[in-house]
Structure 1
Amino acid sequence: MPRKQSHATIMQQGVTHALECHRICEETITHCLQAGGKHVEAAHIQLLTDCADICRTAADFMVRGSEFHPAVCAVCADVCERCAIDCERFSGDEQMAKCAKACCECAQSCRQMAGALA
């Protein structure tokens, strides 16, 4: 029978995913600015920036054990899902695929934090 993960383990995974997504979104912003064209559309850059910021904020709230972390994690999951969808439209671009993957993983982790641990 599989052992259920502890609250601390789930929280640590959430922090890890959020910080990784923050880092990759920041790297992707630089990639997009260098690539030009559709990569630098204002809405796309803004979404990447929003995603990076909310991921860092969610990680901070989880680390502090803030009573508001479930609400922040729910917003983080929403933003990460939107960012993943937006990044996926750049088919054939390795960095964009990497960003979409990180966003999906963070969204899943944050949904768990927002729901199961609320």
Structure 2
Amino acid sequence: MSHEKFQECIEECMRCMMACNHCYNACLEDENVAMMIHCIRLDRQCADICSFAAHAMSTNSVYAREICMICADVREECGNECKQHDVQHCQVCAEACRTMAA
């Protein structure tokens, strides 16, 4: 399958990765960073898997489907965690994760 067929998903993965990276960095600066540890870890993992999924799709990996399925699971968990926090960067990240998981 040509990477052009994946273009929209690749772009969404990159948007989600950027939102997770922003949330990750903002959480590190939170006054109560200890409370944000789970969110920080999920942000990092979600950003990494989104980047990896985009790469797999862009190179027509035979494992792209399986990688994207794992990516959807991680995005869902990250989105669920972020939506629990009442700070804007977490809400933006949660929305990016939900958009991707759908």
Instruction: State the one-letter code of the partner of 1:59.
Output: A
Unaligned 5+ runs, structure 2: none
Shift of 1:42: 2.6
Q: CA RMSD in A?
A: 1.8
Q: Identify the residue that residue 23 of structure 1 maps to in structure 2.
A: 18
Asked whether the equivalents of residues 32 and 39 of structure 1 are also in contact (C-alpha less than 8 Å), the reply is: no
Within 1, Cα distance between the matches of 2:26 and 2:35? 9
Q: Identify the residue that residue 104 of structure 1 maps to in structure 2.
A: 98
Instruction: State the one-letter code of the partner of 1:42.
Output: I
Within 2, Cα distance between the matches of 1:76 and 1:16? 14
Q: Which has the larger radius of gyration?
A: 1
Q: Secondary structure at the match of 2:61?
A: coil
Please give the per-residue CA displacement for 1:35-73, whole angstroms capped at 9, x wherever unaligned: 131575332211111000000000000000111000000
Q: Identify the residue that residue 74 of structure 1 maps to in structure 2.
A: 69
Q: Give the TM-score, by structure 1 length.
A: 0.78
Q: Identify the residue that residue 63 of structure 1 maps to in structure 2.
A: 58
Within 1, Cα distance between the matches of 2:25 and 2:5? 31
Q: Give the TM-score, by structure 2 length.
A: 0.89
Within 2, Cα distance between the matches of 1:24 and 1:72? 20
Asked whether the equivalents of residues 27 and 36 of structure 2 are also in contact (C-alpha less than 8 Å), the reply is: no
Asked whether the equivalents of residues 53 and 71 of structure 2 are also in contact (C-alpha less than 8 Å), the reply is: yes
Asked whether the equivalents of residues 26 and 89 of structure 2 are also in contact (C-alpha less than 8 Å), the reply is: yes
Asked whether the equivalents of residues 14 and 51 of structure 2 are also in contact (C-alpha less than 8 Å), the reply is: yes
Q: Identify the residue that residue 44 of structure 1 maps to in structure 2.
A: 39
Number of paired residues? 101
Within 2, Cα distance between the matches of 1:28 and 1:78? 18
Q: Identify the residue that residue 112 of structure 1 maps to in structure 2.
A: none
Within 2, Cα distance between the matches of 1:48 and 1:67? 26
